[in-house]
Amino acid sequence: MPTPARVRADACPGVFAPHDAADGPLARVRLPGGAVSAAQLRALAECAEACGDGDLHLTSRGNVQLRGVTRPGLAARLTDAGLLPSPSHERVRNVLASPLSGLRGGLADVRGLAAALDVRLCATPELASLPGRFLFAFDDGRGDVAGEGADVCWRALDADEGTLLLAGGDTGRLVARADAVATLAEVALEFLRVRGSAWRVAELDDPAWRGAPVRWLPAEIPAGLIERDSGLAAAVKPRFGQLSAVEARALAEYGPALVTPWKSVVLPDVPADVFARLGFGGAELGTSACIGRPGCAKSRADVRADAVFRPGLRAHFSGCERRCGKPSQSHVDVVAEAGGYRIDGRWVPLDEMEGNL
Ligand code: SF4
């Protein structure tokens, strides 16, 4: 059922419109398709040290956030690194793409489509007014990013043709791969014409914006060492998606990278001992958490200190009911309350958490 259109102003943070968090201004840097060159990764590490809290915080849309941005110079540094190609469009460059595309599996190679859409978005003045939550996706047919809640998604059916999804529903409209970028941009322009106060496609009442519901099967989420069609890739998963500047520079030693919507970083070309060399990011971490206290004033607890890690456990800890950064895959929902947590709605005191997860 469509949700009511929102009346609040669009508060999605960017670099020029940071969010005022309890630990200082929070700036979000968009990385269309999650793609970041080694030089850009180093530049982000420098930004984190020079302007923020020293860490890169990966997001569930494959972007990067800098927290505690209390010192000046961030926009100039990002512009120099090519990470702010259009100040007017910075918050609308929200594009997912299957991170393993062209490396292993998938029906089509979607590499390059996110970058092409980014160029098109930035060259279209009207699209600067898209809501900051509007999300595009290119799924190479494996169904990994198609289930991540994009407003408009091209999903490959074979190497040259795909189908158009709106708010996760399949419209049945066939679109050639060669037309995918233009089609997604056209859909966004049409959304702007009809949206009224809606922020997302799912908020539109018009049935023309609905597709047939899709039952998403669990897709392969990249983890650990990955055998490519030739060679090896790796999905590096830092705890809570938080990378220190030193760790980011260590990743940059392996060339270009892809930030995934699962708060990991795919390195397309690595040696077999990459995790031993890195010394982090190789463990299978099924637990995630919002920033919690003290970074967020709404949080009832230091959720990252309370989080429980165990092999096989997929849980998301939240400091309040907003559940920021929760994964779209099935997981145990853990929300803070005074003195404990609600685990999938069931109250559990703090000292009994371990035994109840
Ligand atoms: S879920 Fe609540 S406590 Fe956690 S970051 Fe979001 S608003 Fe803050």
Q: Which CATH number is correct for 287-356, 3.30.930.10, 3.90.480.20, 3.30.420.280, 3.30.413.10?
A: 3.30.413.10
pLDDT digits (tens, 9 = 90+) for 23-54: 999 999 999 999 999 999 999 999 999 999 99
- pLDDT of residue 155 exceeding 70: yes
Alpha helices in 105-221 (DSSP H): 113-122, 180-194
* pLDDT at site 8: 61
Cα torsion 282, 288, 293, 299 to 10°: value is 170
Residue 101 gets the label, from left (phi > 0), alpha (psi -120 to 50) or beta, of: beta
- pLDDT of residue 246 exceeding 80: yes
Distance 173 CA to ligand 1 centre (A): 38
Question: CATH 3.90.480.10 in the chain, residues?
Answer: 1-84+234-283
Percentage of the chain beyond pLDDT 90 is 89
Q: Is the CB of 291 under 6 A from ligand 1?
A: yes
Q: Is the CB of 26 under 6 A from ligand 1?
A: no
Distance 21 CA to ligand 1 centre (A): 10
Q: Is the CB of 319 under 6 A from ligand 1?
A: yes
Q: Is the CB of 335 under 6 A from ligand 1?
A: no
Average pLDDT over the chain, rounded to whole? 94
Which residue matches tokens 């923020």? 52
Distance CA 133, CA 188 (A): 12
Alpha-carbon radius of gyration of the chain: 20
* pLDDT at site 3: 45
pLDDT digits (tens, 9 = 90+) for 62-79: 999 999 999 999 999 999
* pLDDT at site 215: 82
Q: Is the CB of 65 under 6 A from ligand 1?
A: no
Question: CATH 3.30.413.10 in the chain, residues?
Answer: 92-190+199-220, 287-356
pTM (2 d.p.): 0.94
Could you identify the atom of ligand 1 that is nearest to the CA of residue 296?
8
pLDDT digits (tens, 9 = 90+) for 79-133: 999 999 999 999 999 999 999 999 999 999 999 999 999 999 999 999 999 999 9
Distance 128 CA to ligand 1 centre (A): 27
* pLDDT at site 311: 85
Is-contact 234 226, C-beta < 8 A?
A: yes
- pLDDT of residue 4 exceeding 60: no
- pLDDT of residue 253 exceeding 80: yes
CATH number for the domain whose boundaries are 92-190+199-220:
3.30.413.10
Superfamily designation of domain 1-84+234-283: Sulfite Reductase Hemoprotein;Domain 2 (3.90.480.10)
302-325: average pLDDT: 94
* pLDDT at site 122: 98
Could you identify the atom of ligand 1 that is nearest to the CA of residue 322?
1
pLDDT digits (tens, 9 = 90+) for 190-225: 999 999 999 999 999 999 999 998 887 778 789 899
Pairing of strands 152-156, 136-139: parallel
DSSP 225-259: EEE-SSSEEEEE--GGGEEEHHHHHHHHTT--EEE
* pLDDT at site 7: 52
- Angle at which helices 113-122 and 180-194 cross, to 10°: 40
Pocket test for ligand 1, best of 59, 293, 302, 318 (most atoms within 8 A of CB): 318
